[in-house]
Amino acid sequence: MNMHFNLKTSLIVAALLALPVAQAATMSKADYKAAKTRISADYKADKAACASMTANAKDICIEEAKAKEKIARAEAEYSYTGKPKDQTTLMQVKAKSAYAVAKEKCDDKTGNDKDVCVKEAKAVETKALADAKMGKQIGEAKTEASEDKRDADYKLAVAKCDAMAGDAKTNCLAAAKVKFGKN
């Protein structure tokens, strides 16, 4: 049972992080506000559904409702801004939320089983946060590499323009500056 639960938790977190976070098709401000309102209403409904439960089942239900709300808010923020920073935040929120739910589920266990369950949940969270951090670093490296490529292409275009003379050279240099974003 414990191994099944941990495998299930690991798979859930992996699925959350492996989902291709949709390329942010930025939403309008009105859509963003509507999404935030819908998320709040969904959270209240989910939390109200937990009221009939008792003991740890209620705690798990509430933690799942909180996780769902946090993830939805982070997804809405990323969809609204489209910033890589918000994508990283979304991945971190998913990891932390999955950990909070898994940790709450561990409360049903006792003794060593509980300790192992909590440690495994923490390990899954740590791995997911590391993946989010790595994704951030890869994104920064891609940006830097793109800039390096653009600079190299610009230098090549300038070298080609140097073979020209007069207005042709001036026009060529101006076109290269526009094409490669140089001032």
pTM to 2 decimals?
0.58
Cα separation, 69 vs 59, whole angstroms = 15
- Among residues 77, 72, 13, the alpha carbon closest in space to that of 38 is found at 72
User: When comparing pLDDT for 8 and 45, which is higher?
Assistant: 45
The DSSP call for residue 164 is S
The DSSP call for residue 82 is -
69 three-class SS: helix
Are 31 and 105 contacting, i.e. CB atoms less than 8 angstroms apart? no
Domain ranges of the chain: 2-131
Cα separation, 4 vs 73, whole angstroms = 30
Over residues 163-170, mean pLDDT: 90
- Among residues 94, 84, 116, 92, the alpha carbon closest in space to that of 2 is found at 116
Q: How confident is the model at residue 162 (pLDDT cuts 50, 70, 90)?
A: confident
